[in-house]
């Protein structure tokens, strides 16, 4: 079951081809990008994440038992956090399931108590946006975090670079996370918000979400 409001119905053939006709609700989705990235840099995540396009075509945020370390839902599905976890594994060789679990085991009280858990859970902790935000902050990767919901969903105050990680909040408290795959004045993001992994401009994220966090994380701060 999706945590997010239903996304517009889209012809996936158009989406994968980067066609514009049926994609206006998403702000013109794109196909794969060629990204130059040095090893061990955030941009390496963005480059690796291109392989998720056309592979992860469904959405599933449900709880499931995972192997540890290296546990992952089937690649054809997943939620927004799985996009980041897979990009980190494929692009940086870093396992956020393991990193988050180890950090939570050392400092459990530093993490949100939203779910009423008494101890870390390797099956789900790394698949929750507030936990990833906390881990990135503790790892020295936080650049900005909003103090309230007044910020527009496309209005991050700092310059966005390829490989940056962005988070949002909805009025309901629902969270979301995405990867910047092109920085600069016309940034692109890659994420799964309900119908598989897509890549498009940042602008449409302002419709019903508020910008919440901006992170730049790589092996140097793991």
Alpha carbon of 44 to those of 50, 137, 169, 191: distances in Å? Answer: 10, 20, 26, 16
pLDDT band at 218 (very low <50, low <70, confident <90, very high): confident
In this structure, what DSSP letter does residue 102 have?
Answer: H
Domains in the chain (CATH in brackets) are 12-221 (3.90.1720.10)
pLDDT at 135: 98
3-state SS of the chain: helix, strand, coil percent to 5? 30, 15, 55
Confidence of residue 220 (pLDDT cuts 50, 70, 90): low
State the Cα torsion 59-64-67-69 to the nearest 10°: 70
**Residues counted in the chain:** 222
Residue position matching structure tokens 């996370």: 177
212, two tokens: 């919440």
Mean pLDDT for the stretch of residues 3-17: 36
Buried b / exposed e along 141-173 (16+ C-beta atoms within 10 A): bbbeebeeeebebbebeeebbbbbbbbbbbeee
203 versus 16: the higher-pLDDT residue is 203
Separation of alpha carbons 10 and 27, rounded Å: 12
In whole numbers, what is the pLDDT of the chain averaged over residues?
87
CA 3 to CA 15: how far, in whole Å? Answer: 22
What pairs with residue 142 in β-bridges?
Answer: 215
Q: pLDDT at residue 18 above 90?
A: no
Asked if 197 and 46 count as a contact pair (C-beta separation under 8 A), the reply is: no
Q: What are phi and psi of 175, to 5 degrees?
A: -110, 160
CA-CA-CA-CA dihedral for 130, 145, 156, 96, to nearest 10: -40
Check residue 118 and give its pLDDT: 96
Measured CA to CA, the distance from residue 192 to residue 15 in angstroms comes to 13
Instruction: Read off the pTM.
Output: 0.87
Q: Is the pLDDT of residue 73 over 90?
A: yes
The mean per-residue pLDDT over the stretch 130-157 comes to: 90
> What's the pLDDT score for residue 149?
65
Q: Is the pLDDT of residue 221 over 90?
A: no
Q: Which is more confidently placed, 38 or 218?
A: 38
- Identify which of 47, 45, 48, 50 has the alpha carbon closest to the alpha carbon of residue 36: 47
């Amino acid at each position: 079951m999706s945590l997010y409001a239903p996304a517009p119905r889209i012809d996936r053939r158009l989406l994968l081809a980067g066609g514009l006709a049926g994609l206006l609700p998403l702000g013109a989705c794109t196909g794969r990008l060629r990204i130059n990235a040095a090893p061990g840099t955030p941009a390496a995540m963005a480059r690796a994440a291109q392989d998720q396009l056309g592979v992860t075509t469904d959405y599933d945020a449900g709880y499931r038992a995972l192997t540890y370390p290296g546990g992952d839902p089937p690649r054809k599905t997943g939620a927004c956090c799985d996009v980041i976890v897979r990009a980190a594994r494929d692009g940086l060789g870093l396992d956020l399931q393991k990193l988050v679990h180890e950090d939570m085991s050392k400092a459990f009280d530093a993490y949100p108590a939203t779910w009423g858990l008494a101890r870390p859970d390797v099956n789900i902790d790394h698949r929750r946006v507030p936990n990833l935000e906390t881990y990135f902050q503790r790892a020295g990767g936080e650049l900005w975090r909003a103090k309230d919901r007044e910020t527009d969903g496309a209005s991050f105050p700092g310059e966005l670079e390829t490989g940056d990680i962005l988070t949002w909040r909805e009025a309901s408290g629902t969270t979301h996370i995405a990867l910047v795959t092109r920085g600069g004045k016309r940034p692109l993001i890659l994420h799964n918000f309900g119908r598989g992994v897509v890549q498009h401009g940042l602008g449409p994220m302002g419709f019903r979400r508020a910008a919440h966090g901006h992170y730049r994380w790589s092996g140097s701060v793991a």
